[in-house]
Amino acid sequence: MLKGKFEINLDFFKLKSPSLIGVDISSSSVKMVELSMVGKGNQSYRIERYVIESMPVDAMLDGAIVDLEAVSECLQRGWKRMGTRQRNVALALPATDVITKKIFVPAGQREDDLAYQVETEASQYIPFSLDEIDLDFQVIRPVPENPEEVEVLIAASRKEKVEDRVAVALSAGLKAAVMDVEPYAAQAAFELTLSQLPEGGKDKVVALVDIGATIMKINVLHNGESVYTRDQPFGGNQLTQEIHNQFNLSSEESEIAKRSGNLPENYKTDVLQPFCETLAIEVMRAIQFFYTSTQYTEVHYIFIAGGCAVIPGLNEIIASRTQVSTLIVNSFSNMELSSRIIPRQLNLDAPALLIACGLALRSFDPS
């Protein structure tokens, strides 16, 4: 694994200890989650603390940090609100900042030899010099049709992308201990939700739709493996913009009003309902793209995540449009709650905490 000038474990896949705060830095907010493990025999997780701290407008752009000081101050405010002593954090890069590639290599190699071969192979697929990137890999499984080879997943990112996030943490007085990739973190937390399905969703095609402020991310899974991903430029900011247009509020006032619900009576019929219908059409379009791009012809379940997921009735509207059973993500549904957690508020916030929860899970080795 190649390392940058910061002392950070730049492994995108391997689990690490000690305890970590999962930190999801998005364009609209910083989400932070701290978990612990309880029980000796049948171990389970407990959510100790979490916080969602609003991000200043224009501090982030398309997943990139534009105003390092503003993002760092937001992170520091969130950490103080959490009331934790833990300063080690797990961060994640957007998928757009990470190049991934699956390769096949001879099985049974020593780790040093494997690392050398991965670097050699990576140079063929990554359009940057190896000294400009941070690189990691994970052996996934033996190749079914050739047991003498194994499938390896390579992940690489430009050093400056990693260092920007590390610098934000350092400026906030925190230590970046792990760097992950957002889709992998989201999937780790989402797998806790699959227990809601019969037989844990075995042999079913499940679509995870994460509706962010500007991007809707679709990840379709089959038996724990991602079989399709797609990003569509649609998100909660469209609703904020409609509030701004309809009620003559500033962008910041519109965002506050959207979150508080403090809007005129015609908001639901004139603004919210049309937004939900448009969002459902976008989800339906994404599912159609999935059908035309893969061999699959059916999606059995849709799970929605992100801040928009808790809009009342949205899951029913999506289910009606797509004719697919649609549920709301809550990775904490089977966790114990510390006395600091308000259950009703957590239920509202849970869909937005998916990535942060997945990052917090990096504290634990499941083996």
Phi/psi for 114 (5° steps) reads -65, -45
> Model confidence over 140-171: pLDDT tens digits?
888 888 888 888 888 889 999 999 999 999 99
> Model confidence over 244-286: pLDDT tens digits?
999 988 888 888 888 878 889 999 999 999 999 999 999 999 9
For the ranges 69-73, 124-128, 287-291, 337-341, the lowest mean pLDDT is seen at 124-128
pLDDT of residue 193: 92
> Model confidence over 70-122: pLDDT tens digits?
999 999 999 999 999 999 999 999 988 988 888 888 888 888 888 888 888 78
pLDDT of residue 67: 93
Between CA 217 and CA 233 the distance in angstroms is 9
CB 157 within 8 A of CB 99: yes
Q: Is the pLDDT of residue 42 over 90?
A: no
Task: Find which of 44-48, 124-128, 135-139 is predicted with most confidence, using mean pLDDT.
Answer: 44-48
For the ranges 246-250, 351-355, 357-361, the lowest mean pLDDT is seen at 246-250
Phi-psi region of 329 (alpha: psi -120 to 50; beta: other; left: phi over 0): beta
**At 39, which amino acid appears?**
G
99-158 fold: Dna Ligase; domain 1 (3.30.1490)
Q: How high does pLDDT run on average in the chain? A: 88
* Helix 159-171 × helix 68-82 angle, to 10°: 50
pLDDT of residue 40: 64
Domain parsing of the chain, residue ranges:
99-158
> Model confidence over 22-32: pLDDT tens digits?
999 998 899 99
For the ranges 137-141, 189-193, 336-340, 359-363, the lowest mean pLDDT is seen at 137-141
pLDDT of residue 3: 34
Which of 323, 326, 327 lies closest to 291, judged by CA? 323
Which of 113, 102, 88, 118 lies closest to 153, judged by CA? 102
How many CA within 13 A on the CB side of residue 118? 26
